[in-house]
Amino acid sequence: MSKAGQIVEIPSEASIYSRFENHFHSLKAELDFLAEALPYNLFDGFLIGEHYGLDDFVIGQRKGINVGGKDKPIYVIGKNQEYNQLFVGAGWEHPGLMRKVFRYAKSDFELNAEFCQDLKNLNDTEVQVVFYNKNDLKLAELFVLEDNVYLKFENTMHVLDLNQVKNIIKNDQEILKIKPNKNEN
C-alpha cells in the first residue's frame, strides 16, 4: 500500500510563475527547462488534501484527485517524488498546464527522406505543427539537440496537446510525422 502524501494547490498567481528568469548555459538547458513542470514545493501554495499513490497521477489529469469544493476543476500540474507531493492548479488555463516548449525523443518521429536526410539539418527551423485535436496549424521553431526534438511555440500550449502532435510541416511539405502508436500511451 502506498504511503499517504500531500496534495498542494498552487494558485495561478503564485510567485513561482514570475521568479524564474534564469540565465541558461546552453540552448538545450533552456529548452529542457521550458519543457518541464516547474519545481514546485509546499511553500508555493497551500495544502488541500492527501493522495495515496503519486505514481497513479499524470500531468494534466483532472479525474481521481478527490478534492472538491472548488470554483474551477482541479488539474495535476506537478509531482515531487522525494517528498511524495502532488501539485494541482485550478482551471483549464492554469499556468502550470501551459508550456512554450514540447520535448520528444528523436525516435518518436519518422523523417520524410524526400525532404531531408538528417534531422540535424532541421535545427532552428520555423515549422507548422499539425495536431490531431485542432483544425489550425501552430507555428513553432524546431530544434534537434542530442537525442531530442524540441518544438518551441510562439504562444504557450496546453500540456494535453503534447500527445496530440500528428506531423510537422515546412514549406507545405510534411517533414516529420509522429510514429504509429506514439499517441496511444
The CA distance from 143 to 126, in Å, is 9
Determine contact, residues 137/128, Cβ cutoff 8 Å: yes
How many structural domains does the chain have? 2
Same domain for 84 and 149, yes or no, is no
Per-residue confidence (pLDDT) for residue 134, from 0 to 100 = 85
Per-residue confidence (pLDDT) for residue 59, from 0 to 100 = 93
What are 124-173's pLDDT values in tens digits?
789 999 999 888 899 999 998 888 999 999 999 999 999 899 999 988 88
Same domain for 103 and 28, yes or no, is no
The residue range of the domain holding 165 is 99-184
Cell of 124: 532552428
Same domain for 67 and 129, yes or no, is no
E runs forming strands in 91-164: 98-105, 109-111, 125-131, 138-145, 148-158
Specify which residues 29 forms β-bridges with. none
For the chain, which ranges sit under pLDDT 70? 1, 19-21, 113-122, 181-185
